[in-house]
Amino acid sequence: MLRLSLSMPPPAVIVLVLAYLGISPCRAIRPARMVVGIQSDSMAHLVTALHVVVRVDGDVTDDETVLPLRGSRVPFPQPWEKALSTLNGASALDVSVEAIGKPGQAPLVTRLASTRFVPGQEPLLRIQLESRCMIFPTIVHGPGSAPGPLSGPTCKAPTTCILGACQSSVVPVANLEPYATNWPTNAPDRCKPQGGGAPDLVIGTGQTDYLPLVPSQTLQAEAGPQGGHHIWIATRMKNLKQRLSTTRVEGSDPTTGVTIPPSTFVFTYAPAEGGYCKLYGLRYQLDNGGIDYKQFLGKPLDVKVTVTDPAGATATATTRITVAPTLVNPP
């Protein structure tokens, strides 16, 4: 048994205790570090606050309500970051973010992310709030009213909404990127690599994946959850930014000249084969703006899609489809 004399000076006591425990007194314990970075798609000024909860090894280390910066002209939510550290090596990290609309209502977006610290490194856990994952309060329409906003899926934890679908909230350590102070603008981009060439865009269809179209292919319209009637549009592109690119869809009947008001989406593209990126599940409402969708049933429709990325690069594609004469889910 190790016996310590009370007359020994404190430094000597520390050295003896460390030696007894097998710990070198010259080797300092280096904490593992991590930066949580939250950024957002455009949410049309609907978000009034973010509620962020951070847990390390199950313990809440940060519970914060983030408000818009006073006097800022940048749309909220602005990029937010929090530096974290732990002495427990590869500790588990869990983050929950709620985008709050009106006080007292359910969150518009709930985003979960889980990973682990990496000893000796300082990676970034990038969390993207996506407008296609917003869940709007139920709207009751009166006779003749226009369709309301479309909602994303409701996901049950530990899944979370990513790219408009419920997916795992786990971020593998291998997918973490090194932290940099300009992380909000330097996101790794598989869709627009350096020296990739001119932008390219192709129009397709599909609710859960991109499917190619043939000329004049018939697409069936269907009634949506908020009262509108839509067809499914999908796109493939390359050499345009993966995030914060604006996808604008517009259509017109070539036989009558009647046009459908355009729909604009600011959704994140997913990597696809051949160096392309894809976006699917775009509901293009035939009755957008309250016009009568029935006038397009059984008729050709010229669809035009324009994608513009944050750097100003753009690509446009057009195709002609035929709208089926009946709905896939008639009332």
2.60.40, 1.20.272, 2.40.160, 3.40.50: CATH of 200-323? 2.60.40
Helix (H) / strand (E) containing 308: strand 300-308
Cβ-based neighbour number of residue 328 at 10 Å: 11
| Residue-range domain boundaries for the chain | 32-178, 200-323
Q: What phi and psi values does residue 295 have, to the nearest 5 degrees?
A: -70, -15
Tabulate helix, strand, coil % of the chain (nearest 5).
10, 40, 50
**pLDDT tens by residue, 68-91:** 988 887 788 999 999 999 988 889
- Using the predicted structure, report yes or no on whether residue 149 has a pLDDT greater than 90: no
Position 194 scores a pLDDT of 66
**pLDDT tens by residue, 153-164:** 899 999 999 988
* Range with lowest mean pLDDT among 71-85, 206-220, 249-263, 279-293: 71-85
Query: Which is nearest to 135 in space by CA: 117, 119, 149?
Result: 149
pTM beyond 0.75: no
| 214: confidence class by pLDDT, cuts 50, 70, 90 | very high
Contact indicator for 47, 77 with CB cutoff of 8 Å: yes
Distance CA 282, CA 208 (A): 10
